[in-house]
Chain A
């Protein structure tokens, strides 16, 4: 499921150690959970744009929805790991989770959610 790992295996075979310096152990473990679960059942493509803040209504399975029900910190690490390991479905899922946290909120609420400083001048 990881294009990065697949390419490394294609290049050097399965006996060589694969270095993954950019991924913490805890996060890698969570990624492996995802891959194990989806090994034989690839997830549905998530429809863009999201039609609801409830991911299940956007085509995401209950298991996947629960899987990304985690702290923001971990979610962002997961996005970076999915990007680095090149696992498209996990990347889509984690980014969709962030998008679902934006959808439905007004501008000030979005700022609060992600702790973003408003740097517009009053005129702007």
Chain B
């Protein structure tokens, strides 16, 4: 919580962190501080004396009850203005309706749900609460210039590089690279989508959380919100939604399956409907982003920045960043609630081996199993695609074979468990040579393992005589 007390700024409702009590000076200040226990009812709810418990109770109220509750006392008003309460109510309503024709975000979820534009009431008071302060702090924290100084990455000019070059220098050694001048033609269709924010005839709706909305509505919302974890546009069906007009979505040349290079995207042989989710349209507000993760199913990925500016950090396979703890089976990752919180508390602990800023028109290659996170420095629109090529085929097949429970991107449990078998079938049909090579190699490795075990047993056996 560096710089929190010295910032001294009061958020909209007079909430400050608990530590602020040490900065209070004199009677005037102390007079402003509201007693939480009293505000909740000293003989009743006040006894709970726990911000999280009070919020838990409020989280169970519907819109009308929450609005009435907020008029009960000044302290309760401040608690009821916690925006995540109103966001959850809005999202719940959306889930029930499914489709959002128009989305008008009025600056906060509370205003949006209650439908009023101007904040009429601001209590002249101070409420000391870490629980209420933290989301506001991380929702309005500024990006620190120190996080943007380093540039540690190899770069490549796509116009001066053949596919083979790229595969030899980066894909096979599993090294990240920032590729310039790769996108121009490929994603022109998408630029058009984001380029006319107020077109009335804008029909395309993309997936944001539990609902679909227009890209222009989403970008408006992104501009106005101050949340710790704002809604993120993340749509794996964007091509189907938007390209029925006939615009072609073209995968950048370096990654495209062609007659000569049929091995750039082997999962394509499963057919678009059977392969795991693999391509996404992504959009997010400034200060939002992707938290630390490893891409699914042992895939490589490319990420093209259509518009905006993204800060990338990467750590190599097997080396998670500070503050990030994967579970033993790798299925879950424990890390701070928002990426901003990670940056504030952990960025300075260990320098990331790969760190850079990607701009509009750039393409980022994320090799398989690398840890990465992405912070949007402004509102961004991007396209990403995951794939398996010859270079990561063996490790991806092993992943599917040995940890089917960690497979993701398929709708039901059965197809997740069957991905190894289904992918093999597709390879058998279109690229049997690759499958045979894999099987031969696996057999050889198994034999080596057996031999080593025998040798080990022999040694132990002979020592017993001494």
Binding site for B on A (CB under 8 A): 46, 48-51, 72, 76, 79-80, 83, 91, 95-96, 98-99, 102-107, 110-111, 114-120, 124
Pair A96/B60 contact, Cβ less than 8 Å = yes
Known: A95-B56, A115-B43. A104 touches B65 (CB 8 A): yes
With contact pairs A110-B69, A117-B38 given, residues A80 and B48 touching in the complex (Cβ less than 8 Å): yes
B76 CB contacts on chain A under 8 angstroms = 116
Distance between Cα atoms of A103 and B68 in the complex (Å): 9
**In the docked arrangement, what's the CA distance between A19 and B56, Å?**
27
Residue B45 at the chain A interface, CB threshold 8 Å: yes
Interface pair A48/B88, CB less than 8 Å apart: yes
Interface string of B56-69 (1 = CB under 8 A from A): 11111111010011
Task: Tell whether, in the assembled complex, residue A95 and residue B39 are in contact, meaning their CB atoms are under 8 Å apart.
Answer: no
Q: Which of B41, B59, B92 contacts A116 (CB 8 A)?
A: B41
User: Are A107 and B60 closer than 8 Å at their CB atoms?
Assistant: no
- Chain A residues near B47: list those with CB within 8 A: 76, 80
Given contacts A46-B60, A119-B39, 15 further A-B contacts (CB under 8 A): A50-B61, A50-B62, A72-B44, A80-B48, A98-B45, A102-B61, A103-B61, A107-B69, A107-B72, A111-B73, A114-B45, A115-B41, A115-B42, A117-B73, A124-B123
Let me know if A76 and B44 touch, CB within 8 A.
Answer: yes
Asked whether B71 is an interface residue with its Cβ less than 8 Å from the other chain, the reply is yes
In the bound complex, do residue B41 and residue A83 qualify as a contact, i.e. CB atoms below 8 Å apart? Answer: no
Q: How distant is B36 from chain A, measured CB to nearest CB, in Å? A: 12
| Contact across chains for B53 and A79 when beta carbons are under 8 A apart | yes
> Which residue of chain B is the closest to A103 with respect to CB atoms?
B65
Chain B residues lying within 8 Å of A79, measured Cβ to Cβ, are 48, 53
A72 to B48, alpha carbons, bound, how many Å? 12
B72 lies within 8 A of A118 (CB): yes
Is the pair B60, A95 in contact by a Cβ cutoff of 8 Å?
yes
B41–A114 touching, CB < 8 Å? yes
A65 to chain B minimum Cβ distance, whole angstroms, is: 15
How far is A105 from B72 in the complex, measured between Cα atoms in Å? 11
Give the distance in Å from the alpha carbon of A91 to the alpha carbon of B48 in the complex.
Answer: 12
A114:B44 contact, CB within 8 angstroms:
yes
**Within the assembled complex, what's the spacing in Å between the Cα atoms of A76 and B123?**
28
Per-residue 0/1 for B33-55: is the Cβ within 8 Å of any A Cβ (1 yes, 0 no)? 00000111111110110100100
Residue B153 at the chain A interface, CB threshold 8 Å: no
Chain B contact residue count (CB 8 A cutoff): 33
> Contact between A111 and B53 (Cβ–Cβ < 8 Å)?
no
Minimum distance in angstroms from B13 CB to a CB of chain A: 13
Interface string of B61-93 (1 = CB under 8 A from A): 111010011011110100000000000110010
Q: How far is the CB of B49 from chain A (nearest CB, A)?
A: 9
Selected from B42, B60, B121, B123, the residue in CB contact (under 8 A) with A48 is B60
- A7 CB to nearest chain B CB (Å): 16
Note all chain B residues with C-beta closer than 8 A to A48: 59-60, 88, 92
With known contacts A76-B48, A83-B50, A95-B56, A102–B62 Cβ distance under 8 A: no
Kindly list the 5 A-B residue pairs having the minimum CB-CB distance in the complex, ordered from nearest. Answer: A99-B60, A114-B41, A116-B41, A114-B44, A49-B62
CB distance from A124 to the nearest CB of B (A): 6
Complex Cα distance, B40 from A114, in Å, reads 8
Give 19 pairs: A residue, B residue, CB < 8 Å, sorted on A. A48-B60, A49-B59, A49-B62, A49-B63, A50-B60, A76-B45, A79-B48, A80-B47, A99-B57, A99-B58, A99-B65, A102-B69, A103-B61, A103-B65, A104-B65, A116-B40, A118-B73, A120-B73, A124-B123
Distance in Å: Cβ of B268 to nearest Cβ of chain A:
40
A107-B68, A124-B121 known; A116 vs B60 contact (CB < 8 Å): no
Contact of A119 among B69, B74, B89 (CB under 8 A): B74
Given known A72-B44, A95-B53, A124-B121, contact A111–B72 (CB-CB < 8 A) = yes
Query: Roughly how many angstroms separate A103 CA and B64 CA in the complex, as a whole number?
Result: 8
Chain B residues within 8 Å of A76, by CB: 44-45, 47-48
* Given A76-B47, A124-B121, A116-B62 contact (CB < 8 Å): no
Closest residue to A120 on the B side, CB-wise?
B74
Q: How far, in whole Å, are A11 and B76 apart by their CA atoms in the complex?
A: 40
Q: Report the separation of the CA atoms of residues A120 and B123 in the bound assembly, to the nearest whole angstrom.
A: 9
Q: How far is the CA of A46 from the CA of B74 in the complex (A)?
A: 29
Docked-complex contact A49 and B61, CB < 8 angstroms: yes
Bound-state CA distance A99–B45 (Å) is 11
